[in-house]
Amino acid sequence: MKYLTEFRNGEIAQRMAREIASITTRPWKIMEVCGGQTHSIIKNGIDQMLPAEIEMIHGPGCPVCVTPLELIDKALAIAAQPGVIFCSFGDMLRVPGTDMDLFQVKGAGGDVRVVYSPLDSVELAAKNPDKQVVFFGVGFETTAPANAMTVHVAKRRGLKNFSLLVSHVLVPPAIEAIMSSPGNRVQAFLLAGHVCSVMGYWEYPPVAEKFGIPLVVTGFEPLDLLDGIRRAVIQLEAGRHEVENAYERIVTFDGNQAAQKMLSEVFEVTDRAWRGIGVIPKSGWRLSEAYREFDAEERFHITGIHTEESALCRAGDVLRGAIKPAECAAFGKECTPRHPLGATMVSSEGACAAYYNYGRFLSAEELATAGSGLTHA
Amino acid sequence: MCLAIPGKVEEITTEGGLRVGRVNFGGVVKRVCLDYVPEVEVGDYTIVHVGFALSKIDEDEALRTLEVFRQMGVLEEELSEGDVVFAQAAVAPQSACPDGSCSKA
């Protein structure tokens, strides 16, 4: 881990951490929305470089984690059907449904395949006209353009045996839901850099205004994250609440116009349930009228799903930032990456898995007391 | 899931009405849809998510980011496909678990 050592000892990182400490006069709670950023923060120990006043709260931005259990169960039911080729990204394989996961469905004879690009599943549909090919379209705004183009291509090619099981979710309504929830503690957000590479950040000024919170577009590398935190703290200390771009090498205000055009053609905004959180109004995309025939939920009409979450699992509280993973009684005991009770332990971007993998078995308060005693696994 | 990985466009062709590039991610080559980045040409670097290029970036940034992502253990997760992912899931539920600790439980 030469790079990590270089990062921790690095002059720039130390200087940035010192600057953050020197400008911080009060406690601040900052949420990173994106699971990729959570992974990077915990892996690189960025939260431990910050002054004690700054608490990083981990957000719900892991699409694997927030895909509702009912949809996972539907996916499993479709994947188990004969004559179906069920395609997914690899990170959905081990997400627990009520009774099993996709990995086990394959073991039981289901034709489950992991593809690199959703376009690969369209090729599979063209080559297997006697099969129904379904792609599990999970993700935030970063992933949606790929799925939108895939359905667009399937329609253009007149494929009748391709469909998309859609569970797209959106960042701005999630921020609004968190800010509006009783007992919310978050005072600023780091916006997900790659979501903004697609969408730009034109959607966010009204959110910053409405809630009086700084929103900083931030990347994934350790120095990007420190810079995003630094800029959020500067705004918080000055009483400002603006949208700021700390990821200019990738993100523009307007975002990727071609992708946004395709998204608005193929998808329309809909209410979505988030696992562990509940329904958030207008927080997702579904296929628009013109593409509805490619909706796997319409094509397969799966009924009789009775979902049951683990009684021990507190993934919802973790996703809302109400507790740290180690504060859940099942963390590291009944619930481990090998035997996950909830999706936050399955996905490498889930906060519970990140804490487990990097040896964070104590709560935030205990960590603060323990000082720097805990090192990385 | 939401990481976009930088790669170098080595060749551009048209397949089924799509602009498709051969993109090299530090040695791993994938076919990538370039329809959302009409400005990208052969020799350019672009960030790619699940087979779709999302924006152009300069070479120095791309190489540095690629190295950082490699060290963070996320390259494999973003670029793997097919049976190798099942084999990985059988021994360690998380492909991106870089130190193997998630397979010890």
User: B9 vs chain A: nearest CA distance in angstroms?
Assistant: 17
Q: Tell me how far the alpha carbon of residue A68 is from its chain's centroid.
A: 13
Interface test with B, best of A64, A218, A250, A251 (most B CBs within 10 A): A250
Q: Tell me how far the alpha carbon of residue A270 is from its chain's centroid.
A: 18
Q: For chain A, what percent of residues have pLDDT higher than 90? A: 68
Contact B51 A338 (CB under 8 A): no
Q: pLDDT (tens digit, 9 = 90+) per residue, A107-119?
A: 999 999 999 999 9
The confidence band for A8, taking pLDDT boundaries of 50, 70 and 90, is low
Higher pLDDT, B53 or A60: B53
Q: How far apart are the C-alpha atoms of A276 and A352, rounded to whole Å?
A: 13
Contact B91, B84 (CB under 8 A): no
Q: pLDDT (tens digit, 9 = 90+) per residue, A249-288?
A: 999 999 999 999 999 999 999 999 998 888 999 999 999 9
Region of A358 on the Ramachandran plot (φ > 0 left; ψ -120 to 50 alpha; else beta): alpha
Q: For chain A, what percent of residues have pLDDT higher than 70? A: 93
Backbone φ and ψ for A280, nearest 5 degrees, come out as -115, 125
The domains of chain A, with CATH numbers, are 2-61+171-245 (3.40.50.11750), 65-169+255-300 (3.40.50.11740), 315-368 (no CATH)
Q: Which of B17, B18, B93 sits opposite A338 (nearest CB)?
A: B93
Q: What is the interface size between A and B, counted as CB pairs within 8 Å? A: 182
Q: pLDDT (tens digit, 9 = 90+) per residue, A28-59?
A: 999 999 988 998 899 889 999 999 999 999 98
Contact A165, A192 (CB under 8 A): no
Q: How far apart are the C-alpha atoms of A290 and A20, rounded to whole Å?
A: 50
In this prediction the ipTM stands at 0.87
The domains of chain B, with CATH numbers, are 5-98 (2.30.30.140)
